[in-house]
Structure formats: structure tokens, C-alpha cells
Chain A
Amino acid sequence: MSAFPAVEHLVRVVFALAVLATVWGAVVAVSSRRVIRSVAGLALCSIGLAGLYYLLHAPFLALMEILIYVGAVCVTIVFAVMLAEPDETPGRESRSAARCWGGIALACGIAVFCGVCRLVLMHPWQKPQTDFPHGTVSEIGTAFLTTHAFAFELISVLLVVAILGALVVARLGRGR
């Protein structure tokens, strides 16, 4: 028992908030008709995920999640929203077709959710490990430069190629 019994409840509240932010953000991200709201939903979902990573004893990942997803990915999508005109125009497809597609999409989503949930809840998980002195930043760095050194270098090359490719693709046809 810790010296502060309220700490346990506090952690529970933080966990509930993180789960709520993740679920709500995901729902907003996929159900909103306006793309800018979807981006806001994705940002909220990423913040909730960062909280979950922190509770899973991965604080470095929590930091990276906020830095990369909220700070880079969402901002990039906002720039694309400003440059293009991405809102879904209503009335392009007939109401019955829209309802049909919505039904198919909902069926797909529910099928995936129920299938994976069934797998998770039916599986006899072994007792979770309770000792977790591992996963510190220095250990991640060591793993990057020893075990995963080749993949790490490949990712560097991939990022350079992605940057150059994005520049070339976005520049083509600029005179039009």
C-alpha cells in the first residue's frame, strides 16, 4: 500500500480520460463530414494514445506520439486541407447509395471489432509480467544501434526518399 491511497484512484481517472480521448477522437475522426474536424479527432486520439503509452511504461513513446502525430502529421494534413478543397460535397451520391455504403462500412467495422474482441477475450492469456525495469530510453537506443541497426538505416533512407518523392510529386504540374 502506498503512502497516498488516493494515487491509485488518480491513476484510474487518468486512464479513463486517456481511453475516453482515444475512443472519442477515433469516432470523430471517422464520422465527421468535414475533414478539418477529422484532423482534430485524430489529434485527440493521438493525445489519448500518448497517455496510454505512458501508463504502459513507455514514456519515450508517449513523447514521440505527441511530437510526430500531433506535431507533424496533423499539421501536415491541415496544410493539405488548406491547399486542396477536401470537404465531402453533399448530394453527389444518392441518399440510398450513401445509406447502403454506410451500412456496408458499419457492418465491416462491427465484424472486425467483434472478431478481434472474441479472439482477445477467448485467448487464455498467461499471467502478465509485473517487473518492468526494461524499455528505458538508453535501452531503446542500444537496440536501435545493435539489434535493429540495419532496419534503422533503411528507415533513414526511406525517409530521405519520401521527402524527395513528396517534393517531386507536389511540384509536378505546378505551371498549370
Chain B
Amino acid sequence: MMTFDYDKPEVYLVLTAFLLAAGVYGMVRRRTFIGILIAGELVFSAAALNFVTMNRFFAADDANGQVAVLFIMALAAAEIAIALGICIGVYRHYKTIGSKDVTELRG
């Protein structure tokens, strides 16, 4: 059974599940692009924590999990840069960044 102990993997994995759930909730609920982006960052963090947990508890022979997390961080930083550039461009064009108002591509 799960106990609140810092050297048990279950605690970290449940926390990962919580971060993933919070990210999914935010992505469905938020109505602005930046809010959705922040929720996406939470999902990235969940994946990263999962990698580190598995690396620490079940594959402690190498550093592959930590390397994967560094790749995730680099990808998240690149994604944030591009997405915020697009947000600024959209704001300049539409004067809003609400995801309901930017509907030019709607069929």
C-alpha cells in the first residue's frame, strides 16, 4: 500500500498523475492561448518527473532518464519561444488571444 515516503516510487508516480491531470484540465478549461500553454508545461513537467523517478528507482545503472529530461526541457523552451511569438503575432492581428475569437480558419 502507498505510504508517504520519499524513497518509494509510488508517491512520485501519483504526483505525476496529478500533474498530468491538472495539465489536461487546464488545456480543456482555459480560454486563452497563454493559459493553454501553461497547462501544456505542466504536462511536460509530469513526463519529466516520470522519467527521473523511473531512472532513480528502476534503472539506476545509467543516466539515460536524466538525459531524456534535459531533452524535454530543451524542447519545452523551444516550444514556449515559438508559441509566445505566435501569441504576440496573433494579438497584433486580432487584438485578442482568446481561443474563441481567433476563428479565421474555421470551416
Contact = CB atoms under 8 A, between A and B. Distances in A.
Interface of A: 11-12, 15-16, 19, 22-23, 26-27, 29-30, 35, 38-39, 41-42, 45-46, 49, 52-53, 55-58, 60-61, 64-65, 68-69, 72-73, 76-77, 79-81, 83-89, 92-93, 101-102, 104-106, 108-110, 112-113, 116-117, 120-121, 125-126, 128-129, 131-132, 134-136, 139-140, 143-144, 147-148, 151, 155, 158-159, 162-163, 165-170, 172-174, 176
Contacts of A139: 62-63
Contacts of B41: 42, 69, 73
Contacts of A125: 9-10, 57-58
Nearest to A42: B38
A45 B29 contact: no
Binding site secondary structure of chain A? helix
A26 to B, nearest CB: 4
Interface residues of B, number: 78
Interface string B47-59: 0110011011110
Given A112-B20, A143-B62, A35 B56 contact: no
A35 B34 contact: yes
Nearest to B28: A105
Given A19-B15, A23-B15, A116-B20, A86 B32 contact: yes
A24 B56 CA distance: 25
A84 B26 contact: no
5 closest cross-chain pairs (CB), A and B:
A30-B26, A109-B25, A162-B78, A113-B21, A116-B17
Given A105-B25, A105-B28, A143-B64, 8 more contacts: A30-B22, A56-B52, A84-B91, A86-B87, A101-B28, A113-B20, A125-B10, A148-B71
A86 B96 CA distance: 7
Contacts of A128: 7-9, 57-58
Contacts of A81: 34
A70 B21 CA distance: 22
B17 A84 contact: no
Contacts of B11: 19
A159 B89 contact: no
